[in-house]
Structure 1
Amino acid sequence: IRGSIDFNISIRQDGASKPMVINTGLAVYYYQGMKQIAQQLGIAEDNILSTLMRMPEVVVPEQDVLPEEEWAEVKTIIEAAAENLMEHRKNEGAALLKDLSTRIRNIEGLLQDVLPLEATRTDKIRSRITQSLRDSVGSENLDPNRFEQELIFYIERIDFTEEKTRLTQHCTYFHGIIEKEEVSKGKRLGFILQEVGREINTLGAKANNADIQQIVIEMKDELEKAKEQVLNVL
């Protein structure tokens, strides 16, 4: 899964006060500046030292150094935590990929539900358009040959055979990427989901059938859930 963790270790000494260290280089820098200002303003230099010692970072506590044996123990703990983290990431990633596969299988199953509806779709469209024209212009004014030509042209325009084929191919490719032993696959999975969405949208636009459009809505719901999950995949 995608994500990162930052951490730091600080050492705090208990008990006696820490020894102090003078930052000589910084003290000299401050001293030269103070002396120059005192001379320019005609101020006595008697109090420069006391002022200098109060300047930021001139006198600082001595840095704690972790003994080698203690660092070895800390390092062991860090390594164990990192291993546990990586194992957790792998388990979470596997669960995410399993859920993504389920979402795509659901889309494939919904696509199969379209097939029996598609078999009667053309006849329903033909009957609906024919009845609408008869009601509008009357049967006697309807040119059967011209009507048949226009109807065939219209049905060809709303044919979604290519969309079904491409959608199936995208789903198959998606499963193939998930099964590959690759560390980073989130971007490719996201790109495939965009293509899946494009085919689903076109299928819905061409459906011209309430039952098929309802199935398309269910497909979109599964797709949105997959898109949310793929954002967490590295």
Structure 2
Amino acid sequence: SRGKLNINVHVTESDSGEPHIKVDEVKVKAYARILREVQEAAGVEGSLNVRNITGFGDVFITQEDDEEILAEKWSVALKALSSALENLIAMRTQEGNQLKNDLIERIENIEANLKDIEKVSNGRVEEIRNKLRDRIQQLFDDENFDKERLETEVAVIADKMDITEEIVRMRAHLKFFIEAIEQAEPAGRRLNFLTQEMNRELNTIGSKANDSEIAHHVVRSKETLEQIREQVQNVE
């Protein structure tokens, strides 16, 4: 998974809540003893009262939250965190489905262009072979000319212009791409690799075909593939 999530929890006490305060018994006893000593030294009679001691503000101390209070606060924070994470997961799932549908649509566009390329290329190899044979035969119309060698050379040239293998591999890449985005586990690296492979196949098809109509479909496919490549950067 890409990135990380940091969470900070801040607790703000409500003004209406009762403060957690306790008495510092050690100081209370110390102040009481000192006040009695003062009375004796001054020769003042009378008894001490609570006000005499509570006049010293530091006899009250704020009580830290005990385990029960901390557990209660953590329970509230945990519920809020769980709700936020559920919303985050739901949002990511929704965005993921939208991205998947977008990628599938673009892959289908490339598949449509590939079908058009295949239609144009069907029969081209044989047509090219015949044209080359006729052209060369006209140039070397001689009974002593090695016709068998001519056929071999023509076949080699025509085969170099055959894009059948590239179309087959391209279709396999498209199939693997769809399978990858349909799976639950992260597929970002695999999709990125497949887009690179598809780009190579399209480049080869364009260079080998040497046909304006096929070149047009190749350009359209590469434009769509670039859009796919950009979208894939957002996939884990």
TM-score (norm 2): 0.64
The residue number in structure 2 matching 1:218 is 220
Structure of higher RCO (CA pairs closer than 8 Å, 6+ residues apart): 1
The residue number in structure 1 matching 2:49 is none
Structure 1 residue identity aligned to 2:82: E
| Structure 1 residue 158 displacement after superposition | 1.6
| Structure 1 residue 73 displacement after superposition | 1.7
Give the length in aligned residue pairs: 182
Kept after mapping to 2: 8 A contact 1:160/1:206 = yes
> How does 1:22-61 map onto structure 2 within 5 Å?
none
The residue number in structure 2 matching 1:109 is 112
Kept after mapping to 2: 8 A contact 1:2/1:233 = no
Structure 1 residue identity aligned to 2:168: T
The residue number in structure 1 matching 2:44 is none
Kept after mapping to 1: 8 A contact 2:118/2:167 = no
| 2:174 paired with 1:196 | no
Once residues 213 and 125 of structure 1 are traced to their aligned partners in structure 2, the CA distance between those partners, rounded to angstroms, is 17
Once residues 139 and 103 of structure 2 are traced to their aligned partners in structure 1, the CA distance between those partners, rounded to angstroms, is 57
Once residues 189 and 89 of structure 1 are traced to their aligned partners in structure 2, the CA distance between those partners, rounded to angstroms, is 19
213-222 vs 169-178, which deviates more? Answer: 169-178
Structure 2 residue identity aligned to 1:151: V
Q: Render the CA deviation track for 1:174-220: whole Å, top value 9, x for unaligned.
A: 2222222x231222222222222221121112111011011111111
Q: Render the CA deviation track for 1:89-117: whole Å, top value 9, x for unaligned.
A: 11111111121122211111110001221
Larger radius of gyration: 2
| Structure 1 residue 140 displacement after superposition | 5.4
Equivalent of residue 95 in structure 1, options 90, 95, 98: 98
The residue number in structure 2 matching 1:6 is 6
Equivalent of residue 206 in structure 1, options 191, 205, 208: 208
The residue number in structure 2 matching 1:44 is none
Assess, with a 3 A threshold, how the Cα gap between structure 1 residues 141 and 230 changes in structure 2: closer, same or farther.
same
Kept after mapping to 1: 8 A contact 2:163/2:205 = yes
- Over the residues paired in the alignment, what is the CA RMSD in angstroms? 3.3
Structure 2 residue identity aligned to 1:71: W
The residue number in structure 2 matching 1:52 is none
Structure 1 residue identity aligned to 2:10: S
Once residues 166 and 226 of structure 2 are traced to their aligned partners in structure 1, the CA distance between those partners, rounded to angstroms, is 19
Once residues 131 and 220 of structure 2 are traced to their aligned partners in structure 1, the CA distance between those partners, rounded to angstroms, is 26
Q: Render the CA deviation track for 1:21-65: whole Å, top value 9, x for unaligned.
A: xxxxxxxxxxxxxxxxxxxxxxxxxxxxxxxxxxxxxxxxx9x86
Structure 1 residue identity aligned to 2:105: T
Kept after mapping to 2: 8 A contact 1:197/1:223 = yes
| 2:74 paired with 1:82 | no
Once residues 214 and 4 of structure 1 are traced to their aligned partners in structure 2, the CA distance between those partners, rounded to angstroms, is 43
Assess, with a 3 A threshold, how the Cα gap between structure 1 residues 102 and 215 changes in structure 2: closer, same or farther.
same
Structure 2 unaligned blocks of 5 or more:
16-61
Assess, with a 3 A threshold, how the Cα gap between structure 1 residues 95 and 71 changes in structure 2: closer, same or farther.
same
Kept after mapping to 1: 8 A contact 2:9/2:77 = no
